Amino acid sequence: MHSQRQRLPNHFITLVGITLLFVLGAHSPVHALEYFQRNHAAMGTQFHFHVHAESAQVANTALDEAISLIEAINQIASDYLPESELSRLNRAPAHQPIPLSDDLHALLTRSIEISALTEGAFDITAAYAVQNWRRARRQQQLPKPELTAKAISMTNWRALEINHHQRTLTKTQPEILIDLGGIAKGYAADAALTILRQHGITRALVAASGDLAIGDPPPGKSGWPVTLRSFAAKDSPSPDVTSEILLHNCACSTSGDLHQYLELDGKRWSHIVDPATGLGLTRRIAATLIAPDSTTADALATAACILGPQKALQLLQDRPGISFRITELDEAHPHRPHLTISGPAFKPTAQ
């Protein structure tokens, strides 16, 4: 008796075929990502791009678009370019609604929010004070008292009123000037990282000087290595001390007078201007701040230096997604810098 071969049902064959395709597909090698790096000078600093992409073509297309966007933001937010949107806004009279582009509206809105959060430690209307202090640093002498008084009188973030429905800004006080230097680079880094993600490049880091917008970690890594700098003890052979943390999908900014300062008559003045005094800080302080986005981190890192450790703890320690590390060098104890840490991103360090 001859046995007969049974024909399998068509639906069974189809099911097996799909299963084999799924199994083979699951074990097929994933196309390896290539690493690409590019630098671009903009907004008075260097932007550094670190990306992992499928090909040079994908990377270059995304990077070109990201850089074009940074340049467009500079045309909006620069106080150096005479025909930038910000420069035109600064020339506009008080008590008159001025239309805003989407980017300038976003920048001004976030700036005012952070001014309120930090009780004015971050204040984009300290523009004249910043200009006055830059001039003093170049001339190696303190500003005249009358100029400092003028700078303080022109600093008032509450004199900025935004109509969000009509997208306009009204300056309610004459002579108000705006300087976005403390937030615009972080905003541009965020915007560039968004462009990279739109092109499918999620494993990327955009660094605008000390302002980092950080995406997914590099392949096979748990995060991007970020070097933290703080003061070395007095008479140390190294000007600062470094440590490293790994970060992903967040932002990190550092501010302080580690390297930018002015010494007059034995007194050290920071390049960071306190809006309340119109002068540079005199405390030795540096802050590294981690936040969900670089726009926030950029502004709050400078604000943390102005606030000081205790006030920063009071105002920022319960903010979602915010971690910071503040190093202060007390001249009374120059051999032992004091470290203040808040948030889960930094591990406690022995004092």
Residues in the annotated binding site for Mg(2+) = 182, 298, 302
What number of other Cβ atoms are within 10 A of residue 129's Cβ? 29
Q: How many angstroms separate the CA atoms of 284 and 282, rounded?
A: 7
The DSSP secondary-structure symbol of 200 reads T
Q: In terms of C-beta distances under 8 Å and separation of at least 24 residues, what long-range contacts does 267-272 make, across chains too?
A: 269/137, 270/305, 271/133, 271/137, 272/302, 272/305, 272/306
> Residue 4 burial by CB count (10 A; 0-12/13-18/19+): exposed, middle or buried?
exposed
Task: Give the amino acid at 227.
Answer: T
DSSP element (H, E) containing 68: helix 56-77
* 256: Cβ contacts below 8 Å, ≥ 6 apart: 270, 272, 285, 286, 287, 305, 327
Integer angstrom CA distances of residue 225 from 111, 258, 273, 321: 29, 21, 30, 19
CA 184 to chain centroid: 8
Annotated binding site: 182, 298, 302
CA 114 to chain centroid: 13
